[in-house]
A and B are shown apart, each in its own frame.
Chain A
Amino acid sequence: MKALAESAQVTDGPNDKGEMFKRPGRPSDRFPAPFPNEEAARAANGGSHPPDLSVIAKAREGGPDYIYSVLTGYKDKPGDMEMAPGMHYNTAFPGHQIAMPPPLADGVVPYTDDTEQTVDNYAKDVSAFLMWTAEPKLEQRHMLGHRVIIFLFVFAIIMFLAKKAVWKRVNKDHPPTEA
């Protein structure tokens, strides 16, 4: 993690001379943004602004499954379809025209084991990673959840038995006919 972060150069500052400087990244840094500003991003992408992907897996109906479908959804356009200039045909994207060029191709990134280097496997990894960035506490949440739910379940049973025991007394201590 640390080594990975150090491989990026991050702009920090200003220092005591009022200048910005570069330093190796730390795990607590944000991802360096690929474009200096929104206009540059639009100019490089046929007028569309690439969204911040940190919470994208929660911001789309279908979550990671949707992301996987978009990544693997680049197909040849049906013959009769009119595409806007610079757009790419995609089966999963609403409207089927997406400005993002296909980001993945077979064999672009080697795996350290003998996993097949296919778009399909890359797409699975990317969507799983984006689900993690959207919800980094998910695992912790489930772990705590198990304990809380078990506790409440046992507590509910105890309360139920206590309630029964208390209400057993009701006719003896508070006879219904007492005027």
Chain B
Amino acid sequence: MGHASTYEPKTKLGMWFDERLPVARMMHGQFVEYPTPRNLNYWWTFGGILVVCLAIQIVTGIVLAMHYIASPDEAFNSVEFIMRDVNWGWFLRYTHAVGASMFFVAVYIHTFRGLYYGSYKAPREILWMLGVLILLLMIITAFMGYSLPWGQMSFWAVTVITNLFSSLDMVVPGLGTSLVQWIWGGYSVGGPTLTRLFALHYLLPFVIAGVVMLHIWALHMPGNNNPTGIDVKTRGDTVPFHPYYTIKDGFALVVFLLVFFAIVFYAPNWLGHPDNYVPADPLQTPPHIVPEWYFLPFYAILRAIPNKLLGVIALFGAIAILFFVPWLDRSKVRSTSYRPIFRWFFWLFVLDCLMLGYLGAQMPEGIYLILSQLGTLYYFGFFLLIMPLVGIFETPRPRPGSITESVLGRPLPPDRTANPAARPEVVK
């Protein structure tokens, strides 16, 4: 948005349209000319990949919904019917199921990228918070989707997770129980629960699509951050989005799809759990209830805390705290590349999340429980103590004078350096 449009409609019809509804002008401005920092690395390709992931989920999901039957007696068999008798049904379902996992792989990389390069700092706080909102919606959507095949794991995951709300009984007696029964639409997880999960699973991805549009709008106001974390100062710091980043994003996307479809065709059940091929049986609890891999770190946090209510608060807190990151970080420097101390804490945080993921799949006892508790402590400590304190006490490493200097690897001669005072005008 922060640059003048050079869009010239070439045909009469184009001109006629442009005066009435300048969509083409907007698209040209935002996705062709859009000045993009010239030094973006491959970590910046995941935003585009995520858009494609969402599109794949919506397209495969809609076709699956044409054959799927949301009833406890039929759901499991209808999924098997899709796998056997619907033309290309196996491809649709495996793409949707593997697609959900790949979506989370991409979104976690995208989020850690934002954390590493300080992309949440001013003026991108709203952009970041919309991202966190998307993450929350994705988690809810995927949880609901996983319930739909109505296998053993589906059923028991729904039972365990919805039951979490009953912990509110500890605050107001009866409140939690009433809430849970309201969510279930009855006294146990059953038909009414499944149909509402399906209705919402259909709805939420479109809500996500709407928030993604706002997310990209909020991105295009200040423009992209970049690996140096330094603001764009001159035109020369940028290149037009097309063709430079369309081709780079395109290449990254093809490599991503290569991995994606290698899993779909050769190991589609690798990321799933065998118990979900057993039809749901409300009378038989599986010995070991585990969620999908992408929820494991959160599950570990939930179970690390012996008190049920506090565990639930920690679970929601683990996401909610992300909303406050722009204000928790007190550093003046965006990019972690120039933060010698924070860097260590950042990578330790990544390891911590991986460890919590591993622990989420283990029984919460003995050493596993103790490690989960330490992991949870570090998770929250990272945001609440390390981010504010390191930001205040750390001395950042010297940064290049501009994006261009960092690309060239040497300072520019003084006469060629743009006057920083003229900065906003130059970019606009």
Contacts and interface: CB of A to CB of B under 8 A. Distances in A.
A131 to B, nearest CB: 12
Given A159-B254, A179-B418, A148 B38 contact: no
B274 A58 contact: yes
A177 B411 CA distance: 11
Contact of A163 (B90, B247, B404, B407): B247
A3 to B, nearest CB: 22
Nearest to B79: A55
Contact of A152 (B235, B238, B258, B278): B258
Interface residues of A, number: 36
B135 interface: no
Contact of B265 (A55, A60, A148, A163): A148
B277 A177 contact: no
A178 B234 contact: yes
A96 B151 CA distance: 25
Given A163-B251, A174-B236, A137 B83 contact: yes
A170 B261 contact: no
Interface string B405-420: 0011000100010100
A142 B266 contact: yes
Interface in B90-119: 90-91, 94
A134 B248 CA distance: 41
Interface in B63-101: 80, 83-84, 90-91, 94
A144 interface: yes
Interface in B230-257: 234-240, 243-244, 247-248, 250-251, 254-255, 257
A54 B80 contact: yes
Interface-central residue, A54, A137, A153, A170, by most chain B CB under 10 Å: A137
A79 B342 CA distance: 62
Interface of A: 51-52, 54-56, 58-61, 63, 134, 136-137, 141-142, 144-145, 148-149, 152-153, 155-156, 159-160, 162-163, 166-167, 170, 174-179
16 contacts: A52-B279, A59-B275, A141-B90, A141-B94, A141-B268, A145-B261, A159-B251, A159-B254, A162-B247, A162-B251, A163-B247, A166-B244, A174-B38, A176-B237, A176-B404, A177-B236
